[in-house]
Structure 1
Amino acid sequence: MNQRGSLLTQPLQPPSAGRVLLYLGLFVLGLAVGVAGSLLQGAWFPGGLLLALAGEAGLCLGGGLATRGRGGSIAPAAGWLIAVILLTASRPEGDFLFGAGGGSYLFLLGGMAVAVICATLGQGWQPGGRDVRLGK
């Protein structure tokens, strides 16, 4: 049996400074991909839409692989979502970035779906060592 105890009984350790910087960097990259995708999806429809969603998927999956956890997928997805939500708001002058076309809605809903899929596919915590299988 595992001598360390259950995951629920272990005390939580604060993340290291490097890990916090990695998550912050992924968040900022998510912001950048959200802004770039917002501009790109309207410029070259439908290729720009597919490229923008592929960029977000690559960043979220890459973040999950880099951190070996779901947090690496969630950090850029949160940055993407914040950037896109801020860009959908119209300004007092009447200017806006997103039109009311189907491409904009596909970008918004497709991007949210990509973020959820990538966070779901992210690697969770897996125990290691000889005691991984029960009964051995």
Structure 2
Amino acid sequence: MSDRGSMLAQPLRRPPAGRLVAYVGLLLLGAVTGLAGALVQAGWFPGGLLLALLGAAGLFLGGARALGSRGGAVAPAAGWMIGVVVLTAGRPEGDFLFGAGGGSYLFLLGGMALAVICATLAFGRQPVGDEVRLGK
């Protein structure tokens, strides 16, 4: 078999325990950010909506920067989705945390769009550093 065969199949390794703890922490922080954003966005309408979306974007990009991978953006985005969609969507008593206004829909759709954008633009597998020369 050629050199190509050795490059194709490599076994997956389990991530270190510290990385798993970081992912769980980012997931929980994403849920808290989503719940806080759900409360703030309706309270001070244009400013609260911008504050909530900027907080979510900062968390998504900060997680990606801290862990150096796209998973660092996906973990808080998943927590945000759990916090916003599942926990605030509705309860058996019929209470809703979101109003029927346009700000709520902008918060939901804007947060989802930010999650996708931040996970897509997050750092890939390129080496980082001043001494790295790509294309050599």
TM-score grouping bracket, smaller chain normalisation: 0.7 to 0.9
Matches within 5 A, 1:1-136: 6=7, 8-126=8-126, 133=135
Distance in structure 2 (CA, Å) of the matches to 1:65 and 1:33: 18
**What is the CA deviation profile of residues 65-85 of structure 1, one whole-angstrom value per residue up to 9, with x for unaligned ones?**
011100000000000001111
Q: TM-score, normalised on structure 2? A: 0.87
- Once the 2 structures are TM-superposed, how far is the Cα of residue 88 of structure 1 from its aligned partner? 3.9
Q: Residue 45 of structure 2: SS of its match in structure 1?
A: coil
Deviation at 1:92, TM superposition (A): 2.6
Question: What is the CA deviation profile of residues 31-69 of structure 1, one whole-angstrom value per residue up to 9, with x for unaligned ones?
Answer: 000000000001010100000000000000000001110
Asked if 2 retains the 8 angstrom alpha-carbon contact of 1:87 and 1:97, the reply is no
Q: Which runs of 5+ in 2 are unaligned?
A: none
Q: 2: CA distance between counterparts of 1:130 and 1:45?
A: 46
- Structure 2 CA distance, aligned partners of 1:68 and 1:31? 21
Deviation at 1:95, TM superposition (A): 1.4
Question: What TM-score do the two structures reach when normalised by structure 1?
Answer: 0.87
5+ residue gaps, structure 1: none
RMSD across aligned positions (CA): 2.2
